[in-house]
Amino acid sequence: MVKKSLLLPLAFLLLFLGGCAEFSGASAGKIIPPSAQVSPLGGKWTVLEELDSNGSEGGAGQPWLGSDVQFAPGVVSFGGHVWDNPAYKIKRVKAEDYLLTKYIPSVGSSGLKSQKVDVITVYASGNYLGEFMKLDDTSMIFFVENKALLLKIVAEEADSTLVAGDTSAQELNQDSREGISGVLLGLRIPAATGYTYQTLWIAADHQQLRPILASEQIFFPRTSGFWELSVQNLPTDGMTDNLLTARNVTAKAPDLRRGNGEREGRAGTEEQTYAEPAERVINYIGNDYIAMEKRTAGINHLQVLPVDKLLSPTEIKVSDLLGDKGFNAYLNAREQAAAALREKGITSISQDESGENFGLIRKNGRWSLVGRIHYQSGGNLEYKDFDLKLIPPANLIFYDALVLSWYNIKDRVPDATDAFTSPNRDIALVKTKTKLTIYPIGADKLGETHLAELELPEGATVIMAEWATGSYVDSWEKSFLAYGAQALADGSVRMR
């Protein structure tokens, strides 16, 4: 129930909406790229109040209260950090509908239902920073780290130290990048029935490890903010069936109903129909795509699906991601695999002219593209995976560099099954069957002494590694904590 103390400021906010100009566009929001040389935001703003999006008063102390948010050409700053070369996207939305997706209740005149406003998303280096909902020229709501902040302009121009090209601003930004790294690590863990999923947050500041955080489900970054991927087991008649759903963590969870195969939802959640009963096992998740194995009716089929359309029956084809050349490479690799089967006397081989049976696996510390071919052998349906020998495109995998040699890692940790290294080249994560060990990196090799060692369940597999560096580490960590992450118990982590 919304307290009266919140109703007054929120009603005040929504009164501004009546004075905004009427725009064309659908209620779900229309993306409008701004001019490359013009920032849609500017000046110096201050936080007047935290609006708790759960419908109660702001948290203890309201730590954002009185802090500044500033915009100058080529620069944006807030939370004590400075980002250069920001990018902006503008969407026009129905005010009331958009506020509801942020858990802010509807207050005020029913005429607000049709009122449209600008919501401006800010990025830096492809990373999401936050969203600003403009109320008028002097007021806006800032959505950041699962918070809704009321801002008011206090100066038409930002502080002079933030002007693009200012030495102090550049030095502050550069200093914030060096020596600080964090990674959101997604795990798939075998369970009594199927799998469970977990996200770990591992961060180090100049090779000093921060508390390790964990949450159930998969928490991952996208250009629209942080999202949650959840896996739900569904009741079936003797069959394994689960459902994958993805949503922006600031949006309402979808209302799932099996009945007539429909469901309700709001912006930031899928609004598709159910697929056929099947067990879906996640192999990889990135910013925009998920690779998985769908097991149904005795067939294990590889799939790549867009995060926004996990329930769609339409699968991503090789040509969608790799173009015609990639598709031809897929067909050639598949034919070589089929020829090897025919040499063994196997002639009942499935056809795949569409190029949909492909996915990703981890091999020697990197993600590799593979295809799958099905065939009959001894009356049983079998399958064989084949290597595509293609580099996964950047729109599928943003960062997948191993800055240390895999052979050097294996020489140091003979039972290593996987490894991940920071873009800052300061920490490495080395996985074995039962442990995840965090090392400092020095002189292009693993440090002599590890920073920490985590016990892992037998069979745990890494399905995601999303890295943050510099000032993004603080932002990601705060967002993960706001999502509900908890520090791992001391007994599960052995520090050096």
> What pLDDT, on a 0 to 100 scale, did the predictor assign at position 61?
45
Is the CB of residue 437 less than 8 Å from the CB of residue 453? yes
Instruction: Mark whether 426 and 390 lie in a shared domain.
Output: no
Hey, which of 159-163, 253-257, 285-289, 374-378 has the most confident mean pLDDT? 285-289
Note the Cα 411 to chain centre separation in Å: 33
User: Could you give the CA distance from residue 256 to residue 72 in angstroms, rounded to a whole number?
Assistant: 44
Q: Which of 159, 190, 206 is the last residue of a domain?
A: 159
Q: Which of 132, 159, 186 is the last residue of a domain?
A: 159
Inside any domain, residue 359: yes
Instruction: Mark whether 384 and 293 lie in a shared domain.
Output: yes
> What pLDDT, on a 0 to 100 scale, did the predictor assign at position 42?
87
> What pLDDT, on a 0 to 100 scale, did the predictor assign at position 48?
87
What b/e string do you get for 65-74 counting C-beta neighbours within 10 Å, with b at 16 or more? eeebbbbbeb
Section 408-435 average pLDDT: 93
Instruction: Mark whether 418 and 319 lie in a shared domain.
Output: no
Is the CB of residue 349 less than 8 Å from the CB of residue 342? yes
Instruction: Mark whether 294 and 349 lie in a shared domain.
Output: yes
Is the CB of residue 91 less than 8 Å from the CB of residue 31? yes
> Which neighbouring-strand residues pair with 428?
421, 439
Confidence of residue 255 (pLDDT cuts 50, 70, 90): low
Q: How many domains does the chain have?
A: 3
> What pLDDT, on a 0 to 100 scale, did the predictor assign at position 424?
86
Inside any domain, residue 14: no
Query: Which residues, other chains included, contact 428 with Cβ-Cβ below 8 Å and sequence gap of 6+?
Result: 404, 409, 419, 420, 421, 422, 438, 439, 440, 441, 446
Section 9-36 average pLDDT: 37
Instruction: Mark whether 362 and 431 lie in a shared domain.
Output: no
Q: What range does the domain containing 150 cover? A: 41-53+61-159
Above 50 in pLDDT, residue 8?
no
Above 50 in pLDDT, residue 23?
no
Residue 141 burial (CB count, 10 A): 23
Instruction: Mark whether 194 and 119 lie in a shared domain.
Output: no
Rounded to 5 degrees, φ, ψ at 21 are -70, 150
Confidence of residue 334 (pLDDT cuts 50, 70, 90): very high
Instruction: Mark whether 377 and 427 lie in a shared domain.
Output: no
Instruction: Mark whether 120 and 190 lie in a shared domain.
Output: no
Cα angle vertex 135, ends 134, 141, to 5°? 60
> What pLDDT, on a 0 to 100 scale, did the predictor assign at position 28?
34
Pick 216 or 145 by higher pLDDT: 216
Instruction: Mark whether 311 and 334 lie in a shared domain.
Output: yes
Confidence of residue 463 (pLDDT cuts 50, 70, 90): very high
Instruction: Mark whether 390 and 414 lie in a shared domain.
Output: no
Pick 388 or 112 by higher pLDDT: 388
Inside any domain, residue 1: no
Inside any domain, residue 262: no
Inside any domain, residue 214: yes
> What pLDDT, on a 0 to 100 scale, did the predictor assign at position 254?
57
